[in-house]
Amino acid sequence: MDTIEKLKVLSEDSQYDMACACGTRDEDRRKRGQDGKWLYPVTLPRGGHSVLLKTLLSNSCANDCRYCPLRSESNVRRCTLKPEEVAHVFMEYQRRKNVFGLFLSSGVITNADHTMDRINAVARLLRYKYQYRGYIHLKIIPGASDAAIEDSLSLASAVSLNIETPGKKHFEVLSSKKDYDRDIVSPIKLMSRLTDKGMRYSKVKCTTQFIVGASDEKDSEIINYMDGIYNRLNFNRVYFSSYQKGLGSPDIPGERNFLSPAEDSFMREHRLYQTDFLMRKYGFSNKEIPLDINGNLRLDRDPKQVWADTHPEFYPVRINRADKEQLLRVPGLGPETVDRILKARHESRIHCAEQLGIKGKRLEKVREYVLFE
């Protein structure tokens, strides 16, 4: 295969890593370019959106991850790009201003460090041969050595390693070749230490991702791990990828216990993203997230709405006196609207809901929980 044909195959296979595909608006969703490659949206530092070229370096893989359609036992069309091919094609895209940056991952070629050597070689070519100073996101391969991880950090704008499941028990259901503590937890902790405040790579962003529903984890377990990832490891983002029935081995829990209808699996992913937003942007702790008796989020209700319905004593919130944390607990009010309210209160009192700059059903919802004086 020539370079373009390989890119079509590998870019298509990169769709199984769903990070960056979680938007609710058209401009936030991934798009397919004219040549078949996936392009992913990125929020620019000064506002607005651009896209990432996202591809695998190789879809050959020595690992046996039972949820993954590219696992070693699968019969798929395999191919591998040379580092020079990826760098050259990306720079062509970049020169035409078609992309903002690169998101590069890979299956495991022989072993973790051999794969990391090739991934880092792409970034090194871009940084030193092509003098590219823009955005590069590199995937850390589970089991990578400390030296390989630090090499990635020296080259990348952001790095990520998928945590996959909340804990060793759930992880062992999905892989017999990888060790959770050695190949996942230890590298993630190293990434945290090397990017901590005051450290050499403090400007490099770290993210991770859960594969939701492939194993038999509960939402409560994921949420508790999220708390540690944000508050102890200081990672920038947690992503979620809903397991898709039929992609993995028939013997995993995700196949036996698959949510029906299929849309419920994606709704579970959506509820976890809403929970992530409550914890990152709204000031909710992991202990405040409302769960059912089985330790899972409700699929039929927004978790913020569930919290409001179970805490009537908190309302009504006085729109002209409440602090930011109180206003963020009002269903229908988001961070931008709350900031607008706080700014408006410096100029004059707010006398009615219409002054909040929101309309329709959202406006009606807010009226149920606030008091105007």
pLDDT in tens, 183-239: 999 999 999 999 999 999 999 999 999 999 999 999 999 999 999 999 999 999 999
In the chain, CATH 1.10.150 sits at 311-371
Cα–Cα distance, 74 to 136 (Å, whole number): 30
pLDDT at residue 170 is higher than 50: yes
In the chain, CATH 3.20.20.70 sits at 3-259
> pTM (2 decimals)?
0.87
Number of H helices, E strands in the chain: 13, 10
Count the neighbouring beta carbons within 10 Å of the beta carbon of residue 236.
Answer: 15
- Select 311-371's CATH number: 1.10.1060, 1.10.150, 2.60.40, 3.40.50: 1.10.150
Contact 212, 271 (CB under 8 A): no
Which single residue is written with the structure tokens 């990152």? 280
Cis omega before residue 69 (within 30°)? no
pLDDT tens by residue, 257-290: 755 555 677 889 899 999 999 999 999 999 999 9
Contacts of 51 (CB under 8 A, 6+ apart): 31, 39, 40, 41, 42, 98, 99, 100
SS (H, E, C) 8-41: HHHHHHHHHCCCCCCCCCHHHCCEECCCCCEEEE
DSSP tag of 295: S
Cis omega before residue 41 (within 30°)? no
Residue type, 308: A
- Select 3-259's CATH number: 1.25.50.10, 3.20.20.70, 3.30.70.260, 3.30.429.10: 3.20.20.70
As a whole number, the mean pLDDT across the chain is: 87
